[in-house]
Structure 1
Amino acid sequence: MSGVTDLDELLATMEPALVAGRFVYASVPASQIAAYLARGPIGLFREEEGVTLILPAEAAEGLSASGPMRMITLTVHSSLEAVGLTAAFATALTKAGISANVVAGFHHDHIFVPERDAERALETLRALSRTARDKGEA
């Protein structure tokens, strides 16, 4: 397994980046998924009730979808076996009163936050990273 596993290193080097665009979550019947793939989902997850799609907001026209979200990518190459990263940033965002929906990719963690909270979430994550860096320098 590749990627960083040390929590202190992950936090100190995570460099959160706000990704361009607005995204939504929508659910479609599994039997109809092929028809929706052309809409360019950036993520999907099969559940018993249907397939959850994460789509650019403009691609979700006509679908019942969540409110607009922004995606923050932690640019550190985190291992899927790393312990504590999700808990650390979820705790920081919770203290700031920010809802977070997390998707772990092979290389990075991606955090979807309500559009209205995106800048505040980004600053919260940057502060978490600064605190970890300062701790490592002490």
Structure 2
Amino acid sequence: MKIIIALITAVFLAGCQKEDILENPDTNSTTNPMVNSMTTQTNFNTAGQILLLQGNFENAVHATSGIVKIYEDKDKKRTLVFENFKTDAGPDLRIYLAEDRSVTNFIQITDKVQNGNLSLAIPTNADLKKQNHVLIWCRQFSVLFGFAALK
């Protein structure tokens, strides 16, 4: 029985094995398809922004590192900013804001994940008092790559 469980676990995790992930050397390039779909920028201007929350990424099933911060501007628009972010690639990776690492009450930020420095708009319906975890989630296999608890 233990062998069967081990085999099922191995097959399940094999779906989210290490692949190449797009680095983010120039997110202002119009030739980068990840940029156009994510509306990202490399150097987020913090002038006039208020830092609301921040956290460090921790590993889950895959190595994940970097810092994530949430800023708010004078118009109450919030931005999720990744600094020195790095994770393994996988199929169907998403970035979620959730209440916990178990994907409780989550909201999807994007369906594209890339390494480097980037910023993403946070939807207005996100409740940062509750949804205070940033998850790198493989939707296809329900695998948590890494996470950051925001404080």
Question: TM-score, length-normalised on structure 1?
Answer: 0.35
Q: Which has the larger share of strand?
A: 2
Q: Which has the larger share of helix?
A: 1
Question: TM-score, length-normalised on structure 2?
Answer: 0.33
